[in-house]
Structure 1
Amino acid sequence: MLVVISPAKRLDWAQQDVAMTQPAFQDDAARLVKTARNLTLGNLKGLMSLSDDLARLNRDRFAAFETAPQADSTRPAALAFAGDTYQGLQAASLDHDDVIWAQEHLRILSGLYGLLRPLDAIQPYRLEMGSRLKTRRGANLYEYWRNDLSKALNSQAEKLGADLLVNCASQEYFGAVAPKALKLKVVTPAFLEDKDDGKGPRVVSFFAKKARGAMARYIIQNRCVSQLDLQGFQHGGYIFKENMSSEGKPVFVRPYPTA
């Protein structure tokens, strides 16, 4: 089983005493940065709907990006991202064996780096997968990555003898995985909140993001291999609902949190 998650806009750049690995698509990232450096501040603002301050910050990040970075200017991806999904993943508290397993089975989809392992060394950046950054490969990042991500996932799955991909990423990011090139069966868990207001359970984005990270952690810690294995997930009060689920879409519901 492989599992994919999205990156985060927010970063935690605290120093980490962890041996890091090199991203598989480091050269592609460098080419994207070269393109991004040619954008004006106004272009950069429009590309990702940034404020003036965030546009300047990310212009400076692109300017400082190194093709072969030193270790002190990088951080391991799973510890550097700090958004809602990563609050659920809690990568820093995984034990050594869990991290080793995650390095083989967990992948982070990235607009800049394409596909990251948990310990891959990243430099600070923000480049959302939905960005319409024009390159020689096309008008946006979906066209830039084309079939590369699917092929890389297929290759890793073949190495592991896996035939299942659990999609815990957002639609924006999983949209970069070309379905026709992907040889794996895809399972996409859904996490719903029940407000008991007669309108039925529904997705609440903040909670769903956190739950997707927690599901990735559950898969890692329990060494899940099948869709059936996912049904035991109960983090935060979620319960598997067989009557609401379908093939490839297990549904988990909990009462809406009051605090």
Structure 2
Amino acid sequence: MKIIFSPSKEMREENIFENKKIEFTESPFKDKTNILIDILRQKSIEEIESIMKLKADLLTKTYKDIQNYDKLKYIPAISMYYGVSFKELELEAYSEKSLKYLKDKLFILSALYGFLQAFDLVKKYRLDMTMSIVDKGLYNFWKKEINEYISKSLTEDEVLLNLASGEFSKLIDTKKINMINLDFKEEKDGTYKSVSTYSKKARGKFLNYLVKNQIDSLEEIEKINLDGYALNKDLSNSKNLIFTRKNF
């Protein structure tokens, strides 16, 4: 089993593994990343404002980071991303086994880097899949390479567990890759609905649980009861595991 995960807009320039014996790796599609950086560098600050919908200090900082990309600090992906989901990961408490699980199992999808493993070295950036900077869009730019890479990483009967958002899981060609979706819904007054912030936290909590407990099968996942969430068999099917909890 392998796991896909979304990146986050919130990032930090802190390598919490700097003093640990961990082998850091290069992102596999650096050439394509450099193409995107070169495209962004050619944009004026007004064009960046229009593309990324940024204002004031954040716009100025983002524009400067793009222009000075070569000087930015390399950070392992799992330490750099610091959004809601990633804050649920107890990274500094992980054992060697847990860190190896992260290294072997976790795939982070990215608009700038395409595909990342946990300890691939990356630089902070701001880019979403929906931003128009290349002909035919970023989905078309990345889809072939990402699916080929993931397909080669999976054994014949191995599944890809989707803990990513819809924005990124759309990259996966489910005709070629056996992907199982995990989704989280809140029950109130007999109805179920997804709440973005709660879903992000749940993805992080579930990934943290998988890592700490070395979970490697769907059977084990189906038994998880965490933070009030449990598998809802009535809402689930062979491709979608829906976890629900009451009264959010």
Normalised by the length of structure 2, the TM-score is 0.91
- Partner residue of 1:215? 206
- Which residue matches 1:129? 129
Q: Which residue of 1 aligns with 2:148?
A: 151
Matches within 5 A, 1:63-142: 63-66=67-70, 73-134=73-134, 138-142=135-139
Pairing 1:12-91 to 2, within 5 Å after superposition: 12-16=12-16, 17=18, 18=20, 19=22, 20-66=24-70, 73-91=73-91
Alpha-carbon distance, 1:39 to partner: 1.2
Report the equivalent of 1:204.
195
Deviation digits for residues 169-209 of structure 1, max 9, x if unmatched? 111111222344xx3311111111123x34x1211100101
Distance 2:136 2:46 in 1: 18
Match of 2:168 among 173, 198, 201: 173
Q: Which runs of 4+ in 1 moved over 6 A?
A: none
2:233 matched to 1:238? no
1:37 partner amino acid: R
Counterpart CA distance in 1 for 2:92 and 2:6 is: 17
Structure 2 unaligned regions, length at least 5: none
Pairwise CA RMSD of aligned residues? Answer: 1.9
Between the aligned partners of 1:231 and 1:185, the Cα distance in structure 2 is: 17
CA distance in 2, matches of 1:48, 1:178: 27
Contact 1:150/1:179 (<8 A) preserved:
no
- Alignment of 1:9 onto 2:13: no
CA contact (8 A) 2:15 2:80 kept: no
Task: Please name the residue that 1:252 is paired with.
Answer: 243
**Identical counterparts, % of pairs:** 25
In structure 2, which of residues 179, 183, 186 is the aligned counterpart of residue 186 of structure 1?
179
SS class of match (1:244)? coil
Following superposition, the deviation at residue 57 of structure 1 comes to 1.5
* Alpha-carbon offset, residue 162 of structure 1: 5.2
Q: CA deviation at 1:81?
A: 0.6
Structure with more of its chain in strand, by fraction: 2
User: TM-score by structure 1 length?
Assistant: 0.87
Gaps of 5+ in 1: none
Does the CA contact (< 8 Å) of 1:189 and 1:249 recur in 2?
A: yes
